Structure 1
Amino acid sequence: MLIGCIADDFTGASDIASFFNKGGLSVVLFNGIPSENKVENADVYVIALKTRTLNTSQAVQDSLQAIRWLKNQGAKQYYVKYCSTFDSTPKGNIGPICDAVLEYLNVQYSILVPSLPVNGRTVENGHLFVNGVPLDESSMRDHPLTPMWDSEISNLMKEQSKYPCHVITQPIQQEIINSYKSSNNSSRYYLIPDYSTDLHGENIIKYFGDLKVITGGSGLAEHLGRRYLTDSLTTELAKNNSKTIFLAGSCSERTREQIAYFKEQGYQSYFIDVLNLKDAKESAKTIWSEIKNKNEDILIYSSDTSENIQRNSNSHLISELIEETLAELSKIAIEDGFTNIIVAGGETSGAIVKKLGLEAYKIGRSVTPGIPILQPLANTDIRLVLKSGNFGEKDFFIKARAYI
């Protein structure tokens, strides 16, 4: 193994796995830390955790446990992957996790690179932008679990990390890197380079590609993969013509657009009212009894505006109830003969793969950048496509179905 990677949720893990794969590396994706040490060989192991919204102490503990497992497997380099929209909560987990990994591996410094330019996430002068709009002015500022209150990465890290951040405000040169090293020779620290174009990404890997620990979104993974110059090829999975169930728990603006477009094109759908779930008027079993006799692909969604989600009392408890219901529906669907599952929402995806109990996956072609087709090693008939709520164009569901 060349690279060991931990990711803060399952869609983030499949996202970065797809870019490592595109860069020429063979990848195995694990849902959580593997229960056995004997696993399929690959250039990259990616471990999907659920640390984005976990309490901080548990998130750090889980991350270090995963890093230790990767170290025992012989990882030469480590990648701490977090969301390309960072985490703007003052008590967020990115800082504590990165700090703990640097300390455990005895590393002086790393880089903070949440960029993914192909999907509109860029960093300029230390500020994070989404499609050219500062993070805190984008639609993500109203996220019910991790609201985006600032776009300046060093400000976000100031509330989370023990160590200082330095923004590289000019083209990267070795002399600049050396000056930071000399001025911080007795302390750990982070550097924040610009990354808004592919050329920036290539340059970051040119100067920082040999770091023992890299932290960021998935934007650097393809460039890092090419640095190793292996002969690995993207896995081609055979097409699967079985029926497909679509499950959407994300309340992002992008997912709601995708749902609307799917319905406009005449496809079947079923809306889950969270109030009915709260009052036990509806459950996964009752929903399935309503739809199971339909001989068509169907979308089941609970996606609503963040205002409505928050209005329904405790948004965290509501989110967990939605995730559990959609996860149970995925299990019932598989038991009833469905083999294709397409999911919108990072937390929802994590709940679904946990419910299905599928531990490891091969990475197939990407439906769109950062969203690959997954084939469980334990059941090669199944195909999963799992996306973060904010990713994909409006026709994503239809496109994903065609790719499977």
Structure 2
Amino acid sequence: MQTNPNERKVGQAQSECLNVQSTMDVEPILSRSQVKRLLCYYGDDFTGSTDVLESLFQTGLRTVLFLEPPTETMLSEQFRNVQCFGVAGVGRSLSPEAMDRELRPLLETLKSAGAAVTHYKICSTFDSSPDTGSIGKAAEIGKDVFRSRYIPLLAGVPYLRRYTIFGNHFAAAGDTVHRLDRHPTMSQHPVTPMAEADLRKHLSKQTLLKTSLFDLMALDGIYEKVEQRLHNLVHDEQPDLVLFDVLDESRLETTGRLIWAEAAKADDGLFVIGSSGVEYALGACWQADGLIAASIGKHVATGEVEQLLVVSGSCSPVTEKQIRLAMETGFVGIQVPVHDLIQPDRTAAALAKLEHEAHKAITDRKSVILYTAAGPTDDSIAMIREALMKQGLKAEDSGRILGSALGVLTRKLAAELGLSRILIAGGDTSGYITRELGIYALECKAVLDPGAPLCIAYSHDPQFDGLELVLKGGQVGGEHFFEKVRQGSS
């Protein structure tokens, strides 16, 4: 059942098919000789980082996501044909003090890579608070490192049904689009609940930096007039950040053109904050200008696998429904005994029991779902918080403890059963499992559902080199997403 490592050559073959211009062709457009790549990015959580992989893949650009900052040797030799690259991080879960320690040196490293645009990638639902994953703090660090005139800020992604209208943010849940402070999930988020839909007001609680709005009306009309409006706004208001409204693809392309024009003026590359809408915006501009060829990435096909292993640390209602429907259609669901896993004297026995149950089901030709919670109201959530408190630990420690245990379990199952495709739900869970598998980079292979591409893994461990992975955020994927991952794309 192992994947042929040669399948990973899809990225290299794709790169040869693309008419991506060389560095010498990019330089005149930017008027900067030090430009080496179009874009690099830091993802503030693990699953969200693959969202950018997908957007650039669909644009037609070969992109690699690293789990740790790549060395110059890796970029110049093993991945020399890569036009864009990213680094998966954990900024969304950090305090402002921890963000300063993590982000400042990392952004300095990205700056030295010589990309035209450096993107601090956030969730399209703007997950953040003054104490956790502060986007305002990221802006302060980025402004200090890059010294840009202003920082473009773009959260909307029409492809993912995320919209910013006159500064207020909206996101879909099922068939309905909700204002962010009334979104059924984000308004009740356990760590960063969104009580304010106006992104400027939300940011004002995180930073003293000034944010100006470039709204829908300003984005309408011929490009020269739009550009002049932006020039006037920056001149008159002297903002630190400019928030761009996003409603549709045409305005998104206009925004991409404005950001690209600003990149041409930035001596050390332009620092941008936003969702994967940044890549969709820039990609539309690059294609329209002929800087890159038309997209072909989404046409790459993959086959189905007989058994799929799903490991879920997500407690979102979207994942809950996906788990339930998958179990109704033949997947075997095994709930992880989280209360036992966080008790040091019970961990080994609990893992052994889980391994036995999952091994038997997969051997019986069944796809398996290992899940920590069946939605946000699962009793296990309260149980684990109480157990952690008794040990003197915090609620946020659950991700580390459970993620590490599930990483060990996933490694054993993948090695023993020769699994070729694994789906992981939840950012913390994804990070710990990929680390356990020795994975140091990912590359997009196919598009399945918006925001959760099928990726090929690069691993230091030969038995996991070429493994197919899907890393899914809590709000991502249709109702039957698990079966879609098992079947692959046609």
- 1:135 — aligned with what? 180
- Aligned match of 1:210 in 227, 242, 261? 261
Distance (Å, rounded) in 2 between the aligned partners of 1:239 and 1:61: 43
- 1:224 — aligned with what? 282
Letter in 1 for 2:142: V
How much does 1:167 deviate?
2.0
How much does 1:255 deviate?
0.4
- Aligned match of 1:160 in 191, 197, 206? 206
Closer, same or farther in 2 for the Cα pair 1:394/1:353, shift >3 Å?
same
User: Aligned runs of 1:262-341 on 2, under 5 Å?
Assistant: 262-279=326-343, 280=346, 283-294=350-361, 295=363, 296-307=366-377, 308=379, 309-310=381-382, 312-313=385-386, 314-336=394-416, 337-341=418-422
- Provide the secondary structure at the position in 2 that maps to 1:251: coil
How much does 1:268 deviate?
0.9
How much does 1:310 deviate?
4.4
- 1:248 — aligned with what? 312
Higher relative contact order (CA 8 A, sep 6+): 1
Structure 2 residue 145 is the aligned partner of structure 1 residue 78: no
1:79 touches 1:213 (CA, 8 Å); kept in 2? yes
- 1:180 — aligned with what? 233
Letter in 1 for 2:214: I
Letter in 1 for 2:130: P
The one-character-per-residue Cα deviations of 1:283-304 (angstroms, maximum 9, x if unpaired) are 3333102221222221110124
Distance (Å, rounded) in 1 between the aligned partners of 2:440 and 2:376: 32
Distance (Å, rounded) in 2 between the aligned partners of 1:302 and 1:103: 40
Distance (Å, rounded) in 2 between the aligned partners of 1:203 and 1:310: 47
- 2:218 — aligned with what? 171
- 2:5 — aligned with what? none
2:451 touches 2:477 (CA, 8 Å); kept in 1? no
User: Aligned runs of 1:92-171 on 2, under 5 Å?
Assistant: 92-131=133-172, 132-139=177-184, 140-169=186-215, 170-171=217-218
- Aligned match of 1:347 in 418, 421, 428? 428
TM (norm. structure 1) is: 0.92
Closer, same or farther in 2 for the Cα pair 1:60/1:17, shift >3 Å?
farther
Letter in 2 for 1:76: A
How much does 1:319 deviate?
3.3
Deviates more, 1:389-398 or 1:368-377: 368-377
- 1:394 — aligned with what? 479
The alignment of Structure 1 onto Structure 2 pairs a total of residues equal to 402
How much does 1:240 deviate?
6.5
Distance (Å, rounded) in 2 between the aligned partners of 1:335 and 1:396: 25
Which is greater in Rg?
2
Distance (Å, rounded) in 2 between the aligned partners of 1:149 and 1:273: 33
How much does 1:61 deviate?
3.0
Distance (Å, rounded) in 1 between the aligned partners of 2:450 and 2:244: 22
Distance (Å, rounded) in 1 between the aligned partners of 2:218 and 2:47: 32
The one-character-per-residue Cα deviations of 1:40-75 (angstroms, maximum 9, x if unpaired) are 021101111111102222223322323222233321
Unpaired runs of at least 5, structure 1: none
How much does 1:159 deviate?
1.4
Distance (Å, rounded) in 2 between the aligned partners of 1:274 and 1:3: 40
1:24 touches 1:234 (CA, 8 Å); kept in 2? yes
Letter in 1 for 2:52: I
How much does 1:184 deviate?
4.0
Distance (Å, rounded) in 2 between the aligned partners of 1:272 and 1:6: 31
1:20 touches 1:224 (CA, 8 Å); kept in 2? no
Unpaired runs of at least 5, structure 2: 1-36, 220-225, 263-269, 387-393
1:123 touches 1:129 (CA, 8 Å); kept in 2? yes
TM (norm. structure 2) is: 0.77
Structure 2 residue 91 is the aligned partner of structure 1 residue 51: yes
Distance (Å, rounded) in 2 between the aligned partners of 1:310 and 1:164: 39
Percent of aligned positions that are identical: 24
- Provide the secondary structure at the position in 2 that maps to 1:299: strand
1:15 touches 1:371 (CA, 8 Å); kept in 2? yes
Letter in 2 for 1:285: A
Letter in 2 for 1:291: A
The one-character-per-residue Cα deviations of 1:165-217 (angstroms, maximum 9, x if unpaired) are 112232222232122222244xx511122212112211211222333122111
How much does 1:344 deviate?
1.3
1:23 touches 1:224 (CA, 8 Å); kept in 2? no
How much does 1:333 deviate?
1.9
Closer, same or farther in 2 for the Cα pair 1:285/1:55, shift >3 Å?
farther
How much does 1:36 deviate?
5.6
**Bigger fraction of residues in helix:** 2
How much does 1:357 deviate?
2.1
